[in-house]
Amino acid sequence: MAVNDLRKALVIAEIKRNKSRISLSALQHKAERLLLEYQGYQVEYRALGLEDAMEFLPSKQNILR
């Protein structure tokens, strides 16, 4: 999950080896209680495979800089 309080936006993602096995409706159901704390926020749900994760997760090299 990523939170941008300035823009009042959330990105909720699930990452699996095979992203076709991710159910966005199940992800939305899992996030229901969490969203109670972020009422008024725009929410984006994403299904990511391992190949997509590198785009969204920081690398060790970027963290150490």
pLDDT in tens, 11-46: 999 999 998 999 999 999 999 999 999 999 999 999
> How far apart are the C-alpha atoms of 41 and 57, rounded to whole Å?
22
At 53 the pLDDT is 73
Task: Identify the domain containing residue 57 by its residue range.
Answer: 2-64
* Residue 40 backbone zone (phi > 0: left; psi -120 to 50: alpha; other: beta): left
* Cβ neighbours, 10 Å, residue 12: 19
Residue 63 has pLDDT above 50, yes or no: no
Work out how many domains the chain is built from and give that number: 1
pLDDT-based confidence at 58, cuts 50/70/90? low
pTM of the predicted structure, to 2 decimals: 0.77
